[in-house]
Amino acid sequence: MEKETFIVVGLGNPGAQYARTRHNAGFETIEVLVKRWNTPLNRRKFNGELVETIYNGHRVVLCQPQTFMNASGECVQELLQWYKVSLDHLMVIYDDIDLPLARLRVRKSGSAGTHNGMRSILACIGNQQGFPRIRVGVGAKPQGWDLADWVLSTYRIREEREDMEKTFVRAADCVEDWLKNGIEHAMQQYNTK
């Protein structure tokens, strides 16, 4: 029997100057999975860095788009076309300023909200919203901050950084739960405070 294929995309911006910024929550979650599964991102293809591996009997593609956030949809569209997976086999992980710092929200579908990476994905795949996503709370921008400056900033306080590192681990746990037990189970487990 052929293995089912699942695609897990963590959104972020490539390049050292963006590493560990709020906008790279998706990248950091992928990095947790890559280390945990001992499968480094070893291919540059479809405008992304990716690896194909086996997890829980499924073929799983882990990917960090290399297009910059506002064009993330180009990579996701190419992945979907190449692997021919249905949207419910795609998981997108991204930062969310509308959630408190270090809070996760798991959904099986939805709109892009204020997130440019998700807007790009929905535009590229024809505004079909029916795919799972994990939103990683990075906190609301402080008064007087420009939104772009906020999401491209790093965590200023050590405790914030530590809380976020725990959250990336929880987001990776959530991906594994989804792969083993489905989105409804993952939502029940990870939408708690």
- Which tokens in the block code for residue 70? 């506002």
CA dist 146 and 29 (Å) reads: 25
Cβ 133 vs Cβ 94: under 8 Å: yes
Q: Which amino acid is at 78?
A: E
Per-residue pLDDT for 1 more than 80? no
* pLDDT tens digit sequence for 135-170: 999 999 999 999 899 999 999 899 999 999 999 999
Dist CA 5 CA 158 (whole Å): 38
Confidence at residue 129, expressed as pLDDT on a 0 to 100 scale: 83
CATH code of the domain containing 51: 3.40.50.1470
- Could you give the residue numbers annotated as active site? 23
Residue 149: which domain range? 5-190
pLDDT, tens digit, for every residue of 102-140? 999 999 999 998 899 999 999 999 878 899 999 999 999
Number of domains in the chain: 1
